[in-house]
Amino acid sequence: MKQNIRKILAVLVLAMSVMGLTACGNTASTEPEINFDVNYLHSVADFLITNWDEMPAEEIAQYASMDAEDTEALLSRYGLPFTAEAFTTAFAGYEGSAEELGAYVSTDGYEEPVVKGDEITLVTNVTYENRTAKVSIVFNKKSVAQSVTIDPKYSTAEILKKAGMNTILGMGTVFIVLIFISLVIYCFNFIPGNQAPKQEEKPAPKPRAPKKPAARPAAAKEDLVDDKELVAAITAAICAYTGTSSDGFVVRSIRRAESSKWKRA
């Protein structure tokens, strides 16, 4: 690894010396106050891509997990134009994509650097065994790399497959959690003391039957036409009791009295 860094470092030093001589003549900038050497930016990209290809996986993982203090010491020792965060994220990003990319094949060219504010973005097209990728490096106005990203290119079928898998996993996880919660709630029914005591149901009072009103004795219908003798006897008795004549009496009906009011003389 040290030999690789020294070899690439020599290229960087040469590129920086060229940049110092031709900074004004060979620049690509939209703002006049930012000057940079395109060849130098290319050499920084080549440094990363070459080291990714030549380093064993264990060494890449070591650089990806370095802390900020050790990374700063490494960058200062070799004069590498990276911030500590950009250096570690560059190796971490490649480590995460190495299996999908496969072995390095070739560098297919560089896109025109894009200047936005105080930042310069360089995109490098790289071909790997399994797919192509774009390596994007963002430099500050001093041409120090601030961030590095690697973007593998996937076919439409691969994108759809990944989207389908993500959907299935997401929905499956939701349903599994819901089923688990339902089972937990159902199990509460079997936990002693968790159930509220049931109140004994008292039988509803039976409705009382309404009291039937006492039936009054029905007045007997008297047929005066058939009881002429009875009418005559009653008329005679009334006349004898009152001492009057029967000429002024007209018997219309005869009924039994509830209590006898007759008094014996």
134 and 245 together in one domain: no
112 close to 121: Cβ distance less than 8 angstroms: no
Range of the domain at 240: 222-255
Q: Which of 129, 154, 179 is the last residue of a domain?
A: 154
Instruction: Tell me how many domains the chain contains.
Output: 2
How far is Cα of residue 152 from the mean position of the Cα atoms in its chain? 30
In a domain, 165, yes or no: no
230 within domain boundaries = yes
Predicted local distance difference test score (pLDDT) of residue 45: 94
Q: What is the dihedral of CA 163, 167, 173, 179, to 10 degrees?
A: -160
Q: Average pLDDT in the 237-242 region?
A: 78
The alpha carbon dihedral of 206, 207, 212, 213 has a sign of positive
pLDDT in tens, 110-139: 999 999 989 999 999 999 999 999 999 999
Are residues 136 and 238 part of one domain? no
51, part of any domain:
yes
Q: Give the whole-angstrom CA distance, residue 55 versus residue 57.
A: 6
Model confidence at 241, pLDDT cuts 50, 70, 90, reads confident
Same domain, 29 and 131: yes
Task: Name every residue whose Cβ is closer than 8 Å to that of residue 153 and which is 6 or more positions away in sequence.
Answer: 131, 132, 133, 134
Q: Among residues of the chain, what percentage have pLDDT more than 90? A: 46
Long-range CB contacts (within 8 A, 24+) of 125-129:
126/49, 128/101, 128/102, 128/103, 128/104, 129/101, 129/102, 129/103, 129/104, 129/105
Q: Does one domain contain both 137 and 227?
A: no
pLDDT of 50 above 70: yes
pLDDT digits (tens, 9 = 90+) for 206-218: 666 666 655 555 5
Per-residue pLDDT at 28: 44
Residues 46/130, Cβ–Cβ less than 8 Å: no
Which pLDDT belongs to residue 200? 58
90-118 pLDDT, tens digit per residue, is: 999 999 999 999 999 999 999 999 999 89
CATH code, domain carrying 30: 3.10.450.590
The answer, yes or no, to whether residue 23 has pLDDT greater than 50, is no
